[in-house]
Structure 1
Amino acid sequence: MIGPLHLVGSAPALTPTLPRLGRAPVAVGGHDQQLTALATVELLRARTPVLLTPTPHTHPATRGLLWDGRWNAAPSPAPPAPGWDVAFYTSGSTGTPRLYAFTLDQLTTVVNWYAAIYRLTADSVVITSMPATYNFTAVAGVLAAAMTGASLHLGADSSVVLDHARTLAARHDRCVVLANPVVLQHARPGRRLPSNVLIDSGGAPLSATAITRFRETVADLREGYGLTETASLTHFDAEGTPDSLGTVGGPLPECAATTAPSSAAPVVSVSGPAVGRQLTADGALGPTQTRLVTTDLGRVDSAGRLRLLGRSDDLAVGGLWPREVLDAIGPVLGTRCALVRHPAPDRITVRLLDAENPLSVDRLRRRVGVLTGLPAHAVQVDVEQPRSLLHSHKLLRHTTAHPPGSTTT
């Protein structure tokens, strides 16, 4: 059951005024994350379907746009019940963002997984700087807080999220940080967070070295896996042991991962009870699915843990996949995130977030060259500026062209 949302930290500028809309879906978003979260919860409590949008646009499936708590497009009369309760856009990391819709029963299942993984109670707090329209934030943060009674802190500045976690941990039995590369780059090894802090690294590409150092010097950090199409979760490293290091853990109840038999392209397929249905451009619902073929490459170990190796358009270079190269250059990267891509059999790209924490590019190139046999000029190092990041604050995956704001070394 969805209860009222308890926000901590800065209060929203105003409380959204929400008319009775019945089953008329509305688009919700804005720059004010607190208002977006509050509006989402209150609309769902009133049984009004919500389409979360990172940009101020409506969709044929909706009958109004609530942006920063105000109606930018007035709601029109209610259509028939749409057959869904919440819809999310994919990040667009592999192309044009797509829209997937879920029922509250599906999202309740996923929230129950998060509550168990995070050990959330009504005295806990979840903190993040990621936008409330992002599926990870919406499910693991907004809905998890509203369904468990936990508090939610939506920070505007990623540079202080971990500092806020230190303060909030002292006031709550559990403090969960929903993190990403932007947050993790501000971690300060040596200033360990309290023992009741858990960091879920989300989509941050971290080497085994980085994860180990985070756990030893910052806080308990775990990796999980899920797609927008699966409401953000199918796997989680609940063990946190040396054996599970570098994996996204085992499957959640009724979920499974398999890989294609081809050793040249071990594409991951996932199944589970919370697979969404695509909303088409005209607002129609796509077919019901329980299994998805992803664009990830991976390997499932004997204990059922999933290790992601790369993307479906990556190639093995020198017998190694991007994940294996990432782990090998981990000692050079330290705690930095890096996205490794293999776009061709004779080329590797390493994408860093930004140049705030500089490292030796020459040393990194030499390390990759020794591993793969590639010459230094075949190893490209991209430095991604924060303004180029996707709405979910992920590193861009494209390697054939450099987006505005990126530099190449």
Structure 2
Amino acid sequence: MNGLLAVIQDHALTHPRAIALDPVTAPPVTWEELADRVADKAYGLRLSVSAAKPHVLSLDHGVDAAIAELALLEARIPVLSLPAFFTPEQVQHAVAASGAGAARPSAAQPAPSPLPRGTARVTFTSGSTGTPKGVCLSAPQMLAVAASVVEAVGAEHAGRHCALLPPGILLETVAGFFATVLAGGTYVCPPQAEVGLADPFRPDFVAMVQKLAAWEITSLILVPEYLAGLVTVMEKTGITLPCLTLVAVGGARVPAELLARARALGLPVRQGYGLTECASVVSLESADEDAPGSAGRPLAHMKARIAPDGEIVLEGEMFLGTIGEPRDAGPLFTGDIGRVDDQGRLWVEGRKSALIVTSFGRNISPEWVEAELTAQRDILQAMVHGDGLPAPEALLVPARPGADLAAAVAAANEGLPAYARIAKWREVAPFTPMNGQLTGNGRLRRKAIAAMWLEGAPRFFDELEAATVRERLGFLAIPQVRAGLAGTISRRMYIDYLRQAWHHVRHTVPLMQAARARLLDRPDLLAALDEYIEEETGHEEWILADIAAAGGDADAARVSDPAPATKAMVDHAYRCIEEGNPASFFGMVYVLESVSVAIAQRGASAVAENLGLPPEAFTYLTSHGALDQDHMAFYADLVNGLAREEDRAAILTMAREMFGLFGGVFASIAMEDQHVPA
């Protein structure tokens, strides 16, 4: 097969002025321009970049990322693709293990292993231990998969494909980007924030649906959670997406009820199945299929059979191996349980390693039960467990502050046979890539989740996060908070926020001193308070400087009165410290620091870009956000060491109350007419 540059050059000859890349926020790129820019970029890379080690690629969607991807492939320089949601430890491990880093080997970080010959891409798909394995793929394999996708869906679907999955996700790169290039369509590649994905794990689905409609998108690749979000918004708002001709869904099982809802809205949904080792797609439903739950027939490059124990076995285009471990010749035993029906369709029914065998001898695929649970609108996430128990049990994450999980479980159980019904459940904190409990494609990291919630007593910090999930969801639902995180606030609103921040931050050190005066018999807490006091002293002055840099009146802010909601929050903190358990102060610390991290990471840059304010107007948010990321690790160690139950109860109570009180501070800021994400 010819390389992608040759394909691009052919498109440039036949329709040079047609649009190849549309970043939405910048001028589009024609096929003629793309051919020249990729060729120039590849030439420069050959001269300046070594092909002996991978080139790290970690960019948001856009023209630069697309051209870099194509040029590196053409220059035959291996790519190490790093999703933005990787932790620093995961990034460090991936860079060192693949040899992409320049650091010298050490005892802590040994020399990297060689990549298999012909490696074009190294992708790290798992990370529950923090040291995942890198899967090595060749250019011919990736292009063969992309070509099979085009063959299966038809070139007529090569209209305007929009990238929604996070940058660095193999499925979007191969089946979305490469396939669109082969078919001669337009690859719409906006920055994630532009399509409601500033945080890909807390999407703004209203904005997403509106943008997809406005941009006349014809094809998408989604994970089930994104499909559920789009369907819910379309049902509530009546917005339609008539231009869509293909919506491929993979990464996890899709509940049959969600498929029915999607198709009732006219969404042309097709389920698929894939593995990183197979360069993403293995099978995909055809347009005329009517078998909900099927993953379709294997694509042209792949064959599937079922082993005697039910495991799916694949043959065809395969990965080269993992870093330092070339793949043995022969079929790939996937670890997935499934079947092939008499029409040749593949049905994926669960993971072999996650299979539950109850004490009654019943085999249960947890993914099956999880799909029924998450089909309930009050359940955001679920992990089913119970090997050796009489019946399955579940860890559940609520979808909204008022979620009735008991009713949701009862409704899910109605659709399950008696042996598979959930007998017990527990509410827990969300599973995310940041806490190592979710993959980028939305798959559960079961071992990591079990280690936290099922193997011995959870740490108090984890219990605190779980016990305040609903309060946090309520806080994040406040329109002013959502507008701030999305960056859709006015300068006046930002200055009003800073004024209220000054009024409560100037009490931070006095509150700590008040708590310290009542904790003189607690050397462990005194040491922590002394460290906090030293760290926090003078931060209120940062806020006044930000007000001035944003065009506000810092002197007027200094002499102003706090809003009633701000005064109520501060007064409540003093009252709890002086009249109750002074350790309750650490409940306030938890709320303010965890919230400031989110605001700093998501809100500050969005507001700065929207308002055109200088960096000097955001010193408190950005600096405090970085400080609080460090503080949260320190804080977790501190509260996990608290042995007194009365201290833990006081902290939890204060945290719950503070989410409401701090939310009231935001709600007191007057809003203007503008778009607020729903």
Interval of TM-score (by shorter of Structure 1 and Structure 2)? 0.7 to 0.9
Larger RCO: 1 or 2 (CA < 8 Å, sep 6+): 1
TM-score scaled by structure 1? 0.78
Partner Cα distance (2:115, 2:275) in 1:
29
Assess if the C-alpha contact under 8 Å between 1:122 and 1:149 holds in 2. Answer: no
1:167 aligns with 2:211: no
Query: The residue matched to 1:234 in structure 2 has which SS?
Result: strand
State the alpha-carbon separation in 2 of the partners of residues 383 and 205 from structure 1. 22
Tell me the distance in 2 between the aligned counterparts of 1:193 and 1:351: 35
Post-superposition offset of 1:210: 0.8
Cα gap change, 1:237 to 1:95, in 2 (>3 Å): farther
Identical pairs, percent:
22
Q: Which residue of 1 aligns with 2:319?
A: 276
1:372 partnered with 2:418: yes
Distance 1:285 1:385, change over 3 A: closer
C-alpha contact 2:161 2:188 (8 A) present in aligned 1: yes
- For 1:29-86, what per-residue CA distance to the aligned partner results, in whole angstroms no more than 9, with x for missing partners? 3253334333121111223222223354424544568xxxxxxxxxxxxx99942222
Residue type at the aligned position of 1:205: R
| More displaced 10-residue stretch of structure 1: 359-368 or 333-342 | 333-342
Change over 3 Å in CA distance of 1:406–1:153 after alignment to 2:
farther
Given that 1:185 and 1:336 are in contact with CA atoms closer than 8 Å, whether structure 2 keeps it comes out as: no
Q: Alpha carbon RMSD of aligned pairs, Å?
A: 3.7
Structure 1 counterpart SS, 2:408: helix
Q: Give the conservation status (yes or no) of the 8 Å contact 1:128–1:155.
A: no
Distance 1:166 1:353 in 2: 31
* 1:345 to 1:369, Cα distance in 2 relative to 1, 3 A: farther
For 2:221 and 2:145, the matched residues in 1 are separated by: 15
Aligned to 2:339: 299
Deviation at 1:89, TM superposition (A): 1.6
**Structure 1 residue 375: Cα displacement:** 8.1
SS of residue in 2 equivalent to 1:23:
coil
- In the alignment, which of 56, 59, 70 is matched to residue 41 of structure 1? 70
Matched, 1:98 2:133: yes
**1:384 to 1:222, Cα distance in 2 relative to 1, 3 A:** farther
Preserved CA contact (<8 Å) 1:37 1:132 = no
Q: What's the CA shift string for 1:169-200, capped at 9, x where partnerless?
A: 2xx6xx21111244224212243311534221
What is the aligned counterpart of 1:86 among 99, 114, 121? 121
Contact 2:313 2:334 in 1 (8 A): yes
Partner letter of residue 189 of structure 2? Answer: H
Report how far residue 396 of structure 1 moved.
2.3
Cα offsets for 1:207-257 (capped at 9, x unmatched): 111111111125111111110000011111114533x21111111124222
Q: Are the counterparts in 2 of residues 223 and 248 from structure 1 also a CA contact under 8 Å?
A: yes
1:9 counterpart letter in structure 2: V
Residue equivalent to 1:314: 355
Q: Deviations over 1:336-395 (max 9, x none)?
A: 875553441435355667624975321233345563357865244656255546452414
DSSP-derived class of the 2:189 partner: strand
In structure 2, the CA distance between the partners of 1:106 and 1:381, relative to structure 1 (3 Å rule), is same
Cα distance in structure 2, aligned partners of 1:52 and 1:105? 18
Displacement, 1:290?
4.6
Structure 1: where are the runs of 5+ without partners? Answer: 66-78
1:129 to 136, 154, 164: 164
- Which of 296, 310, 313 lines up with 1:249 in the alignment? 296
State the Cα distance separating 1:164 from its structure 2 match.
2.5
Deviation at 1:406, TM superposition (A): 7.0
CA distance in 2: counterparts of 1:363 and 1:216, whole angstroms: 25
From the superposition, tell whether residues 335 and 226 of structure 1 become closer, same or farther in structure 2 (CA, over 3 Å). Answer: farther
1:211 aligns with 2:259: yes
TM-aligned CA deviation for residue 314 of structure 1:
1.6
Partners of 2:430 and 2:259 in 1: how far apart?
21
Pick the structure with more strand per residue.
1
Residues 336 and 361 of structure 1, relative CA distance in 2, 3 Å threshold: closer
Match of 2:286 in 1: 238
Please say which of residues 133-142 and 361-370 is displaced more in the overlay.
361-370
Q: Which has the larger share of helix? A: 2
Question: Separation in 2 of the partners of 1:358 and 1:135?
Answer: 36
CA distance in structure 2 between the partners assigned to 1:352 and 1:143 by the alignment = 37
CA deviation after TM superposition for structure 1 residue 18, in Å: 4.0
CA contact (8 A) 1:351 1:384 kept: no
Pick aligned residue for 2:406 from 353, 357, 362: 362
Partner in structure 1 of residue 4 of structure 2: 2
Q: Offset at 1:112? A: 0.8
Q: 1:271 to 1:163 in 2, by over 3 A?
A: farther
- Counterpart code for 2:295: V
Match of 1:75 in 2: none
2:404 & 2:429 partners in 1: Cα distance?
A: 13
SS at match of 1:203: coil
Would the alpha carbon gap of residues 192 and 289 (structure 1) be closer, same or farther in structure 2, given more than 3 Å must change? Answer: farther
In 2, Cα distance between equivalents of 1:116 and 1:94: 38
2:248 aligned residue (200, 217, 222): 200
Instruction: Tell me the distance in 2 between the aligned counterparts of 1:287 and 1:198.
Output: 34
Q: Distance in 1 between matches of 2:420 and 2:141?
A: 47
- Note the 1:215-230 alignment, pairs <5 A: 215-217=263-265, 219-230=267-278
Tell me the distance in 2 between the aligned counterparts of 1:325 and 1:311.
Answer: 13
The equivalent residue for 1:26 is 54
- Tell me how far apart the structure 2 counterparts of residues 205 and 80 of structure 1 sit (CA, whole Å): 33
Query: Following superposition of structure 1 onto structure 2, how do residues 124-163 of structure 1 map, counting pairs within 5 Å?
Result: 124-150=159-185, 151-156=187-192, 157=197, 158-159=203-204, 160-163=207-210
Does the Cα contact within 8 Å between 1:259 and 1:298 map onto a contact in 2?
yes
Residue type of the alignment partner of 2:284: F
Q: How many residues align?
A: 381
Instruction: Tell me how far apart the structure 1 counterparts of residues 296 and 348 of structure 2 sit (CA, whole Å).
Output: 10
What's the secondary structure of 1:256's corresponding residue?
strand
Q: Specify whether residues 374 and 144 from structure 1 end up closer, same or farther in structure 2 by C-alpha distance, changes over 3 A only.
A: closer
Kept in 1: contact 2:306–2:338 (CA 8 A): yes
Structure 2: how far apart are the matches of 1:86 and 1:345?
41
Change in CA separation of 1:375 and 1:162 when aligned onto 2, cut-off 3 Å? closer
Pair 1:64–1:51, CA change in 2 (3 A): same
Distance 2:380 2:289 in 1: 20
Q: What is the deviation of 1:2?
A: 1.2
Structure 1 SS opposite 2:219: strand
Q: 1:299 to 1:375 in 2, by over 3 A?
A: closer
Q: Deviations over 1:317-345 (max 9, x none)?
A: 55653354356557x62698755534414
Is there any run of 5+ residues in structure 2 with no aligned partner, and where?
A: 9-19, 28-36, 103-113, 198-202, 454-461, 470-678
Alpha-carbon distance between aligned partners in 1 of 2:428 and 2:69, rounded to the nearest angstrom: 37
Q: 1:177 aligns with which of 220, 238, 246?
A: 220
User: Quick one: distance in 2 between partners of 1:198 and 1:406?
Assistant: 39
Shift, 1:261, TM fit: 2.0
Q: Structure 1 290/253 Cα, relative in aligned 2: closer, same or farther at 3 Å?
A: farther
Does the residue aligned with 1:147 lie in a helix, a strand or coil?
helix
Q: Secondary structure at the match of 1:137?
A: helix
Counterpart residue identity of residue 113, structure 1: S
